[in-house]
Amino acid sequence: MLESFTYHFVEDEHYNYFDDMYSPDYVCQDMMEAIIDAVKSGNFPAAELQRLKDGLEKLKHTEAYEDYGVPYALDAWEKSC
């Protein structure tokens, strides 16, 4: 979901429409917090954790993240590690 969001954020120019009422990143942030909680509690399989880390690393090199900092959920992940 985060990967799809990063591509559509730029392609569909979502950055022109963000405000307090419209921010898909709120959902991403909530998802990331749930994932972080699962990782910290040990309820996340090692293989899936590696897959997640690889995917998040890939997202850090997208235009959406490099130019707009989206998804902000990546910052939550970086702070939790």
Q: What is the C-alpha separation between 59 and 17, in angstroms, rounded?
A: 21
Max alpha carbon distance in the chain (Å)? 39
Going by C-alpha positions, the residue among 78, 39, 33 that lies closest to residue 60 is 78
Pick the more confident residue, 58 or 5.
Answer: 58
CB 59 within 8 A of CB 65: yes
Neighbour count for residue 67 (Cβ, 10 Å): 11
Residue 38 main-chain phi, psi, to 5 deg: -65, -40
35-73 per-position pLDDT tens digit:
999 999 998 899 999 999 999 999 899 888 888 887 888
